[in-house]
Structures are given as C-alpha cells and as structure tokens.
Structure 1
Amino acid sequence: MRYGMSVAMHVRAGQRDAVVAILTRDGDAMRALGCDLYLVGVSDEKPDVIYVTEVWTSRQAHRASLDHPAVQAAIAEAMPMLTGEFHSTEFDVVGGLGVPG
C-alpha cells in the first residue's frame, strides 16, 4: 500500500521562499527514490508556513529516502531557516486522482 504524509512546517520570518526553493528543486531525484506525488504549497494567510503533501510507493521508500545524500544535504540547508514547529499526519493512500493504481 502506498504511504502518504502531510506536513505543515513553520519557517523563520522572511525565509519561506528560500525553503520552498530547496523543497522544489530536485523532483527527478525524488521520483527515483519512490515518490509518486510531492506537493509544496503556501498561503498568504499564513506566510511563515509551508505545506507539503507526499505519496510514496511505501513507508520504507520514504524512510530510505531520508538516508540519501542529496536529501540529507537539502534538510541540512533548510533546517536553519525552520523554527522547529512541524505538524504532520501519516496515512495509507487508498486511491485518488494522480495516484498510480
């Protein structure tokens, strides 16, 4: 079963665009690691929050991606711009538009 995660991450004031750039720069690598869907969103109502929704081929693929050098480098680059406040939900993907069958 596919694995999904939705995260709201809080960024330091004025850092949203820099973090968004980090999160969105290497989609091909994410796909190669088993990511089927990766959405990054923002809201003018909450300018210091970034929303990320991910769908992976499996929970194991997601966890393994965190050990990839490019992913670790992106995390290290973004961390100083984050406040440390995260709200996340993990879920089993049962279907939906844009999700491979």
Structure 2
Amino acid sequence: MTFANVGTFGATPGHRESLVDILTRRNAALAGAGCLLYEVGVNESEPNTVFVVELWQSAEQHAASLQLPEVQAAIAEARPMLSGQMGGYRFEVAGSPLRDDLG
C-alpha cells in the first residue's frame, strides 16, 4: 500500500531558503528507494517553516531511505538549520481520484 509522509520542518531564522536548497537537490537515490513524489514548499505567512510532501511505495521503503548515504549527508547538512520544530502526518493512502494505481 502506498505511504504518505506530510510534514513541516522549522528553520532557524534566516535559513529557510538554504534548507529548501538542500531538500530540493536532485537525488536519484530516492526514486531507486521507492519514492514516488517528494515536494518541498514554503508559505510566506510562515517564514521559518518548510513543508514537505512525500509519497512512497511503502512505509518500510521510506524508513530504509533514511539510511541512504545521500540522505544521511543531506540530514547532516540541514541539521544546523533546523529549529527543532517539526510536525506532520503519516498515513497509508486509501486511493486517489486521479490515479488507479494508488492504494
């Protein structure tokens, strides 16, 4: 079943764009690990927050991806820019009106 991880990362003041730069770098290893979608966004009403929407083939593949060297390097680079405020939701996708192959 498809797995979704939708969350927020708090950025330290003045570092939101640098955090976005790290999170949006091309990373072919994610697709190979089962990532179907990885979207990063901002909202000007929340200047120290980065929003991330991930869609994975499974929760297990998402968890395993966190051990990839490329992902570990990005985490290490981003860590000093994070405020520690995080939020979000994780869920198994029940379906979509746009695609027949989810769920």
Provide TM-score, normalisation by structure 1: 0.92
Deviating 4+ runs (over 3 angstroms) = 97-100
Q: Is the 8 A contact 2:27 2:70 kept in 1?
A: no
Q: Deviation at 1:53?
A: 0.7
Q: Deviation at 1:91?
A: 0.5
**Paired position in structure 1 for 2:51:** 51
RMSD: 1.5
Could you list the runs of 5+ residues in structure 1 that have no partner in the other structure? none
The reply to whether residue 84 of structure 1 matches residue 73 of structure 2 is no
**Paired position in structure 1 for 2:62:** 62
Could you list the runs of 5+ residues in structure 2 that have no partner in the other structure? none
Identity of matched residues, %: 41
* Paired residue total: 101
The 5-angstrom pairing of residues 1-101 of structure 1 reads 1-96=1-96, 101=101
Measured in 1, the distance between the counterparts of 2:99 and 2:20 equals 23
Query: SS in structure 1 opposite 2:47?
Result: strand
Provide TM-score, normalisation by structure 2: 0.91
